[in-house]
Amino acid sequence: ATTFDEFTKLVVTKSRGGSGGPKLVFTPIQLNVNKRDITFANQLFINNEFVDASDTSRVLRTINPNDESVICSVQSATKGDVDRAVKAANDAFESGEWPLMNARDRGKLMFRLADLMEQHKEELATIESIDSGAVYTLAIKTHIDSKLSVCRSTRGSGAVYTLAIKTHIGMSIDTWRYFAGWCDKIQGSTIPINNARPNRNLSFTKKEPIGVCGIITPWNYPLMMVSWKMAACLAAGNTVVLKPAQVSPLTALKLAELSVYAGFPPGVINILPGTGSVCGQAIADHPLVRKLGFTGSTPIGQTIMKSCAESNMKRVSLELGGKSPLIIFNDADLDRAVRHAMGAVFFNKGENCIAAGRLFVEQSIHDQFVSRVLEETKKIKIGDPLDRSTSHGPQNHRAHLEKLVEYAQIGVKEGAKLVYGGAQVDRPGLFFTPTIFTAVTDDMYIAREESFGPIMIVSTFPDGDVDGVLRRANATEFGLASGVFTRDISKALYVTEKVNAGTCFVNCYNKTDVAAPFGGFKQSGFGKDLGQEALNEYLKTKTITIEY
């Protein structure tokens, strides 16, 4: 038992003649990192067991982006393995313990999983940190404004809130608890319909689970993306086959392990590390999968939607890329605007789907804004994400880093003004300097395309031209998020009305919450994660009509 709570439970259970709870036999990878022992599986998780892939000759190498060392190799699922997992999920949905379970008991399992995640949160945060470069401790606040930080560290007062723990792991735990609470509140409605006189009629709807759901997640917030989708999917009563991103699969495998200890029946949760082209594609194509939830790039979203249509018309929800506009008016609180704009771009090293892809700053404050941002950006501490003083960690993987270097080079070639950064940091590991471009015009590549990295793209607009800047902000095929900074409430509300994006932040940014629906418009996809609306993505409505 790795925690005191688990240890005492085990002692009590064994002293009463119990077996000590569900057993899971596997050989974990064991490491000592971040001054703690961590363990996790590196196999496929099917039917509550860790098993080898049917082809063990092709494994995925998981790399620590801090120094490019190999953490371990992970099994890679084949098409046959996907079939095995889908059949297990289908059996669990059709005939196992899961469909017989009361909704409230389903909620209890999810609460129990959240409690186990809480007990293991430092371990989960450490795994996330070495696997994806997530900064373990928060520090973005210290060099921006300790009073009004994007995230807060309260070291010394007992609690230390850390980025990996608070955002990556903390929000994952909150998500499981939030959806656990929904399990016994999924309701239909009673609908007045015309009576077939002289008889009378009654019509009502029931919300039912869809069946086996496929979920495919990206690498930027590995555990959080898994949790956002899987918690809603299970709360609705479905079973799941999930493929995490091949470059960052480890926390998903740790979650699989904890789900057994939480008591989930076999086949309800199946997690298949593997490649998108083989494992992901096989999930999208599988005839027994009835719904697919996806977060990732727009081009792969298009491929998936096509596969879902052609295979069996499975339902699909897509959370795709973004190029979110952030408009800063000259009447904004400048300190606040600078602080949040930096968070909007640099948070999680820019690997953030709602990152502000483009800043529009009103002409009269442009120079002052840029010089303030520059001053603060120079203070950002780049380093090992496990180091408690680091605020900016390495990019997730090499191909992504190389894409960012190329992106910055394109910006320079196009004639944008490179004010800061623009290159890989001269040290081992996959570090990219927080970067600032100004004088960016609408036709440039960097004004149109998402970087998914710590690159601030600043354009300006004439004072007072609210409609003009809105036209430019909306002139994109993306529509994930947006933001506005102004002290004028009417102007702020006007922007929220006119901006064509799924989320609009006013005088804040990145303020997502498990209870607030999240998802995009246009080519940023459709369907919501989080909030009550996310449940509907994983439910079907049945209408029942009675004549009496």
Shortest Cβ distance from residue 385 to ligand NDP (Å)?
Answer: 18
Q: Give the residue, chosen from 73, 303, 364, 496, that forms a contact with ligand NDP under the rule CB under 6 A.
A: 303
Considering the rule CB under 6 A, would residue 527 count as an interface residue with ligand NDP? Answer: no
Q: Give the residue, chosen from 132, 246, 377, 435, that forms a contact with ligand NDP under the rule CB under 6 A.
A: 246
| Bridge partners, residue 438, by sequence | 417
Tell me if 312 sits within 8 A of 287, measured CB to CB. yes
Q: Give the residue, chosen from 98, 178, 182, 219, that forms a contact with ligand NDP under the rule CB under 6 A.
A: 219
Looking at residues 385 to 414 of the shown chain, list those that interact with ligand NDP (rule: CB under 6 A).
none
Going by the DSSP 8-state scheme, the letter that residue 521 receives in this structure is S
Shortest Cβ distance from residue 353 to ligand NDP (Å)?
Answer: 3
Closest CA to 148 of 292, 342, 313, 300: 342
Q: Is 38 exposed, middle or buried (0-12, 13-18, 19+ CB in 10 A)?
A: buried
Binding mask 489-508 for ligand NDP (x = CB under 6 A): --------------------
The nearer residue to ligand NDP, 59 or 103, going by C-beta atoms, is: 59
The nearer residue to ligand NDP, 96 or 273, going by C-beta atoms, is: 273
Number of residues in contact with ligand NDP under rule CB under 6 A:
26
Chain centroid to CA 331: how far? 33
The nearer residue to ligand NDP, 143 or 243, going by C-beta atoms, is: 243
Going by the DSSP 8-state scheme, the letter that residue 200 receives in this structure is -
Q: Give the residue, chosen from 113, 210, 316, 353, that forms a contact with ligand NDP under the rule CB under 6 A.
A: 353
Phi (first) and psi of residue 513, to 5 degrees: -145, 150
Going by the DSSP 8-state scheme, the letter that residue 518 receives in this structure is B
Binding mask 273-292 for ligand NDP (x = CB under 6 A): --xxx--xx--x--------
Shortest Cβ distance from residue 115 to ligand NDP (Å)?
Answer: 28
The nearer residue to ligand NDP, 280 or 531, going by C-beta atoms, is: 280
Here the tokens at position 20 are 């000590």
The nearer residue to ligand NDP, 280 or 343, going by C-beta atoms, is: 280
Question: Which residues are CB-contacts of 152 (< 8 A; sequence separation ≥ 6)?
Answer: 138, 141, 161
The nearer residue to ligand NDP, 139 or 284, going by C-beta atoms, is: 284
Question: Which residues are CB-contacts of 535 (< 8 A; sequence separation ≥ 6)?
Answer: 179, 182, 186, 207, 232, 235, 236
Shortest Cβ distance from residue 407 to ligand NDP (Å)?
Answer: 10
Phi (first) and psi of residue 152, to 5 degrees: -115, 140
Looking at residues 34 to 73 of the shown chain, list those that interact with ligand NDP (rule: CB under 6 A).
none
Considering the rule CB under 6 A, would residue 357 count as an interface residue with ligand NDP? Answer: no
Which region among 28-36, 39-47, 154-162, 242-250 touches ligand NDP (by CB under 6 A)? 242-250
Considering the rule CB under 6 A, would residue 320 count as an interface residue with ligand NDP? Answer: yes
Tell me if 272 sits within 8 A of 89, measured CB to CB. no
Considering the rule CB under 6 A, would residue 321 count as an interface residue with ligand NDP? Answer: yes
Angle in degrees, CA 214, 218, 219, rounded to 5:
140
Considering the rule CB under 6 A, would residue 98 count as an interface residue with ligand NDP? Answer: no
Cα–Cα distance measured from residue 323 to residue 345, given in angstroms and rounded to the nearest whole number? 11
Question: So which residues are the catalytic ones?
Answer: 319
Which region among 150-158, 241-249, 413-421, 486-494 touches ligand NDP (by CB under 6 A)? 241-249
b (16+ CB within 10 A) / e for 42-59: bbbbbbbebeebeeeeeb
Question: Which residues are CB-contacts of 393 (< 8 A; sequence separation ≥ 6)?
Answer: 65, 66, 129, 133, 134, 135, 349, 382, 383, 384, 385, 431
Tell me if 370 sits within 8 A of 412, measured CB to CB. no
Considering the rule CB under 6 A, would residue 483 count as an interface residue with ligand NDP? Answer: no
Shortest Cβ distance from residue 500 to ligand NDP (Å)?
Answer: 17
Strands 289-295 and 212-216: parallel
Shortest Cβ distance from residue 45 to ligand NDP (Å)?
Answer: 16
- Please name the residue that has the structure tokens 């086949």: 267
Cα–Cα distance measured from residue 250 to residue 260, given in angstroms and rounded to the nearest whole number? 16
Shortest Cβ distance from residue 189 to ligand NDP (Å)?
Answer: 33
Shortest Cβ distance from residue 197 to ligand NDP (Å)?
Answer: 53
DSSP assignment string, 339-399: HHHHHHHHGGGG--TT-EEEEEEEHHHHHHHHHHHHHHHTT--B--TTSTT--B---S-HH
Report the residue count for the chain: 548
Considering the rule CB under 6 A, would residue 519 count as an interface residue with ligand NDP? Answer: no
Considering the rule CB under 6 A, would residue 450 count as an interface residue with ligand NDP? Answer: yes
Shortest Cβ distance from residue 450 to ligand NDP (Å)?
Answer: 5
The nearer residue to ligand NDP, 132 or 259, going by C-beta atoms, is: 132
The nearer residue to ligand NDP, 452 or 485, going by C-beta atoms, is: 452
Shortest Cβ distance from residue 207 to ligand NDP (Å)?
Answer: 27
Q: Dihedral of CA 309/313/319/323: which sign?
A: positive
Q: Give the residue, chosen from 167, 220, 238, 476, that forms a contact with ligand NDP under the rule CB under 6 A.
A: 220
Interface positions with ligand NDP (CB under 6 A): 216-220, 243, 245-246, 275-277, 280-281, 284, 295-297, 300, 303-304, 319-321, 353, 450, 452
